A and B are shown apart, each in its own frame.
Chain A
Amino acid sequence: MSNPVFSLKNIVVTVGDGVKILDNLNLDIYDGDFITILGTNGAGKSTLFNTIAGNLKITLGQLEHHGKNITNSSAVSRTNYIARVFQDPKMGTAPRMTVAENLLLSEKRGKKRSLRNRGLTKEKLADYAKITKVMGNNLNTRLQTATGNLSGGQRQALSFLMATRVKPELLLLDEHTAALDPKTSEHLMIATNEQVTQNNLTAMMITHNLADALKYGNRLIILNAGKVVLDVNGTAKSALTEGDILKYFIA
């Protein structure tokens, strides 16, 4: 097996009164992994994402990126290779800026933001019309609309595009379809799956939807009390049933 892109080694994250939210967690993330993550509330799913993204300090243990220790690197520096889509549609886009402006902003991820004209040209807009069309829900007709005026589904689709405009080494999807109605949610999930597989993205997706967790991705992990209690991929994952998974939720 090749070397992991990210490696979490004996990670402990505690909050305030010393409660361990992540408890000696070990996880290797390989190129091309599409990991769905299940776990009860408080199992440490969001903490895991915040830890990887650098928004939470690691109490003990080590986080490695291509074997290099990045435990103490800043969240902003990690955005050069880690992208994230949040659950709340309001969090992922700038509401007073247009769809096109948001996309252009995300294109400069990891690049210097200088005093050069941003270059929102006709060709750019035509390009954006194409990539937004793929996501469905008419986002392509609203390129010049302030994102604050978009529907939740359109905003999440835009957030997803912004996160992947510059291909990240790891894409964190934090229940990104959970705030949407069932139909919109399914729509975005299908589009997400297409994008992740077509572009060979390495992704982790938190979900509370067992069916989604089984249907999508090529690897599945279950968190419980800050530890990985199940980690399967390939045919073993395909063979899993909802019944198998539910066992882990009845403690």
Chain B
Amino acid sequence: MSIIVSSIGQGLLWAVLGVALFLTFRILNFPDMTVEGSFPLGAATAVSLIAHGFNPYLATLIAFVIGTIAGLATGLLYTKGRIPILLAGILVMTASLSINLRIMGSANISLLNQKSVFSAHILQHLPKYFDSVFVGLIIITLITLALIFFLQTDLGQAFIATGDNATMAQSIGIKTDRMTIMGLMLSNGLIAFGGAIIAQNNGYADINMGIGIIVIALASIIIGEVIFGDLSLNERLVAVIVGSILYRLVLLAVLQLGFSTNDLNLISAVVLAIAMMLPRLRHALKLDSLIKKGVSTHE
């Protein structure tokens, strides 16, 4: 039971990444590789600051700001530098590897005996693993509500229109470059924030913790979409959170089959690939009609 609670807790914490990537991947309609850099950037920033005696909440907030700078860099390379988005993201991701080492001073920093957001008094009275669930639930609820609010504002609508049809957006006076940069900043700020929280949850920051992040974030988006199908924009954000939890439960199930944690990146990739192929497979294997038959009464 406790491993399931742990998985749900992890799913909620990692859902921040899924929701953040949704802003670029589904609203702006491009894959942003920057996240593989901004995630460890947030972790390195927060953990280093905490290790130097900073308040963990302040450190997490600073991690968010640093993440927005990574997003700004990618945004400028893409909009002003005219570098394709995939390459712009990879450039910033690569650069941040060095920056992370500079920030941390070594490849790994532990938070042993340091205060973190998980040291809050109220969390100490919860049963094991419930602290992640508690913190995860609060954070993802606040972020999702904030995003739902944002997307319904005039600015949020202009942001959505930019990803939907940039030509049209420009023709009614929307500064699409600015919207794209804003989206990348917000997305990477949230990713770095997620990195800061997850590093504190793990108790350490590691230079390699960004590897495969985009796959995990994509998995929560795609799993949510495959399961729930057509939804409104607000519902899709919630579907990402559910997708993130389901992804953790799938990982748990696979690990129970005897795979080791060293296989996680392989498993992540396979899970995402299957989820992305599912709509096609469903069609090819006529699963939809089979399922329909399965739940209908005999004629």
Q: Which of A90, A94, A163 contacts B160 (CB 8 A)?
A: A94
Chain A residues whose C-beta falls within 8 Å of the C-beta of B149 in the assembled complex: 117
**Given A79-B173, A92-B171, A97 contacting B154 (CB threshold 8 A):** no
Q: Give the interface SS of chain B, mostly helix, strand, loop or mixed.
A: helix
**Given A76-B170, A93-B165, A97-B164, A105 contacting B155 (CB threshold 8 A):** no
Q: A113 to B171, Cβ gap below 8 A?
A: no
Contact with B along A111-135 (1 / 0, CB 8 A): 0111111100000000000000000
Whole-angstrom distance between the alpha carbons of A76 and B168 in the complex? 11
B236: min CB distance to chain A, Å: 11
Q: A91 to B167, Cβ gap below 8 A?
A: yes
Chain B residues whose C-beta falls within 8 Å of the C-beta of A108 in the assembled complex: 154, 158, 172-173
Whole-angstrom distance between the alpha carbons of A118 and B152 in the complex? 6
**Given A79-B173, A114-B153, A93 contacting B158 (CB threshold 8 A):** no
Whole-angstrom distance between the alpha carbons of A93 and B156 in the complex? 17
Q: Which residue among B149, B170, B175 has the maximum number of chain A CB atoms within 10 Å of its CB? A: B170
**Given A76-B175, A113-B158, A91 contacting B168 (CB threshold 8 A):** yes
Whole-angstrom distance between the alpha carbons of A176 and B143 in the complex? 42
Whole-angstrom distance between the alpha carbons of A73 and B42 in the complex? 40
A14 at the interface (CB under 8 A from B): no
Q: Which of B155, B167, B168 contacts A114 (CB 8 A)?
A: B155
Q: B153 to A117, Cβ gap below 8 A?
A: yes
Chain B residues whose C-beta falls within 8 Å of the C-beta of A32 in the assembled complex: none
A225 at the interface (CB under 8 A from B): no
Whole-angstrom distance between the alpha carbons of A117 and B150 in the complex? 8
A156: min CB distance to chain B, Å: 13
Q: B161 to A75, Cβ gap below 8 A?
A: no
Q: A94 to B169, Cβ gap below 8 A?
A: yes
Chain B interface residue count, CB cutoff 8 Å, equals 22
Q: A118 to B157, Cβ gap below 8 A?
A: yes
Interface residues of A in 194-219 (CB under 8 A from B): none
**Given A94-B161, A109-B173, A116 contacting B154 (CB threshold 8 A):** yes
B174 at the interface (CB under 8 A from A): yes
Q: B173 to A104, Cβ gap below 8 A?
A: no
Q: Which of B152, B164, B174 contacts A113 (CB 8 A)?
A: B174
Whole-angstrom distance between the alpha carbons of A75 and B174 in the complex? 11
- The 8 A-B pairs with the shortest beta carbon distances in the complex, nearest first, are A94-B164, A79-B173, A113-B154, A113-B158, A94-B165, A94-B161, A109-B172, A113-B155
| Additional 15 contacts, C-beta under 8 A, given A94-B161, A114-B154 | A79-B172, A83-B172, A90-B165, A91-B165, A93-B165, A95-B164, A97-B157, A101-B157, A105-B172, A105-B174, A108-B173, A113-B154, A116-B153, A117-B153, A118-B154
Residues of B within 8 A of A (CB): 149-150, 152-158, 160-161, 164-165, 167-175
